[in-house]
Amino acid sequence: MSDYKAPTDDMLFVLEHIADLSDLAKRQGYEHADLETVGGVLGEAARFMEEQLAPLNRKGDEEGVTVRNDQVFHPEGFADAYDRFVEAGWNGISMDEGHGGGGMPWCVGLAVQEMMTAANMSFSLCPLLTQGAIDAISHHADETLQEIYLPKMISGEWSGTMNLTEPQAGSDVGALTTKATPGEDGTWRISGTKIYITYGEHELAENIIHLVLARTPDAPPGTKGISLFIVPKFLVNDDGTLGDRNDLRVISSEHKIGIHASPTCVMSYGDEAGAIGWMVGEENSGMRAMFTMMNNARLSVGLQGLSLTDRSYQQARQYAVDRKQGKAIGAELAAGESSPIADHADVRRMLMTMRANAEAMRCVMYANAASIDFANSSEDDAERNAWDAVTALLTPISKGWGTDLGVEMTSLGVQTHGGMGYVEETGAAQHWRDVRIAPIYEGTNGIQAADLVFRKLPLEGGQVVDRFLKQIEDLASELASDETLSPIGHGLDEGAAQLRKSAMWLGGRLATEPNDAAAGAALFMRLAGVVIGGFYLGKSAQIAKRILSEPNQSSDFMKDKIVTALFYAEQILPTVTGLSQAITRGADRFYAIPNDRL
């Protein structure tokens, strides 16, 4: 199995030219995020992830976690790696400097997270959940709770979790029944069972800070009656030291298809006196606080599709170059010799498809993260609102399109290996198994698609989508007149036309035939991802060509950028025509066969 190598050159290119890092570094609070400094940060992060986390990936898959005496234990090496991760400061690289974070823009933190996830997805889920918990506490908890919990969570000494799901309530969070009873000292007693709690119990951090959704007495039904509570594994003394163990425990950890070294726990709260918790925000406003955490996590989960695609591509590429079989068309070989399978057209198709989609995803997701940074650093309300609208549009696409692609691309990685891909010895199947959860958790991709169509399409009366489409159309026009890049321009022009047509059709059905809109939502999310990914690759190719035209510039990296964008335009963008046709068919055929004959 090949080693992981972080693609820092492409990361820096996307940060500079797609995420506009130089402009971001001119803003108050991000002055230290100049390209040279960020390049050094990414270089150090790459070394850490490649050397410390990547070697544990296979071990974690093979051995998984164990539950003993109400505790979860990782394979040997994970705890030491986590200690080094915390010591190096990677956990808080993009967190508030006021609480000990590094203060880097979120787009830079996302690049570091991409490396961590590609190196070891199971490991990465602990920091991912912690950062979401930090975000929720930062935005919604009072100052006292922030001072108690944020410094240790930002450093990574304490980790965080999200406790939504219950056995009787999957995606229907409003059906949860966990109870919160008020105590006499301002605290609450939490009792109930939560399932699918990622890193709900583990030995890596010295304390685990659970964010738990529960109902207070006389709370209204549904999501309007849910409150959010901080429930630590160990209570915290007034001097900041750890006190008694709280009344909560792990019952079991699920046996899963993948991410075997990431504990997915069944948690029990309040088996005895009740787990002690502190309310975050106001009573019955828990969903608002939790959505802060979930929206943070959705981009990070979308990133898992990119990370595992890149890891799988690197392995498949190396295997295809090393593995020799058959004679490629036109190859001149000595008697008895075979061609590398990378020379066969179908293998090359798979590799180029993986590469092009990975680069498109990286552009979309880094742009998504940068929109968060620009919004957070905007002093003008109108500008902030415009960037928030871009974030709202791109987040479900990053999560849904990105994770769907992650599954498809890692499957191509297995296919590239042929029969050896289906044998665990090569490790190719692990990437597919690990990423298969990503379209399911943090809101299934069906939920992401519905969010895109029912909530994001109507934003500002459709003007948010229209503004983005006009950017795509303007670039398409520019590229169409460029002799080298004209295939990208023509492909983008058609893609934008199909995206606009589909958006208008769906928008027209929202009020009158909502089931038609629901039926087309998943394919629309795919169409939007393909076109927006093509837009950013077209922009990348335009920039690469300009750089190559400068004196004394000859770069294989830039040349390959152009070729990859051309491949995407010719092989991937044309799929949008079929998607558009299916989107606008409506829901009638979906329900033409009754349930009892399905």
Q: Is 467 exposed, middle or buried (0-12, 13-18, 19+ CB in 10 A)?
A: middle
Annotated catalytic residues are 442
DSSP reduced 3-state for 181: strand
**C-alpha dihedral over 550, 553, 554, 558, to 10 degrees?**
-70
- What angle separates helix 106-119 from helix 286-322, to the nearest 10 degrees? 50
SS3 8: helix
- Tokens 């956990």 belong to 91
Cα–Cα distance, 311 to 549 (Å, whole number): 32
Q: What spatial distance separates the first Cα and last Cα of the chain, rounded to whole Å?
A: 43
Q: Minimal CA–CA distance to 362: which of 564, 502, 120?
A: 564
CA atoms within 13 A on the CB side of 54: 22
Full 3-state SS string of 45-60: HHHHHHHHHHHHHHHH
- The rounded distance, in Å, linking the Cα atoms of 94 and 108 is 7
Position 368, amino acid: N
Among 98, 117, 127, 112, smallest CA distance to 41 is for: 112
Provide the pairing of β-strand 179-182 with 242-245. unpaired
CA 409 to CA 350: how far, in whole Å?
A: 8
DSSP states along 253-321: E---SS-TTS-EEEEEE-SSS-EEEEEESSTT-HHHHHHHHHHHHHHHHHHHHHHHHHHHHHHHHHHHH
The token pair at 434 is 């690990």
Geometric angle at alpha carbon 102, from 206 and 52, rounded to 5°: 60
List the beta bridge partners of residue 193.
268
d(CA 173, CA 364): 29
The residue written with tokens 């996590």 in the block is 297
Q: Report which DSSP code applies to 227.
A: E
Please tell me whether residue 190 adopts helix, strand or coil conformation: strand
Q: Taking the CB of residue 566, how many other CB atoms lie within 10 A of it? A: 20
Give the torsion through C-alpha atoms of 168, 174, 178, 183, to 10 deg. Answer: -170
99: Cβ–Cβ under 8 A, 6 or more apart, which residues? 146, 150, 151, 154
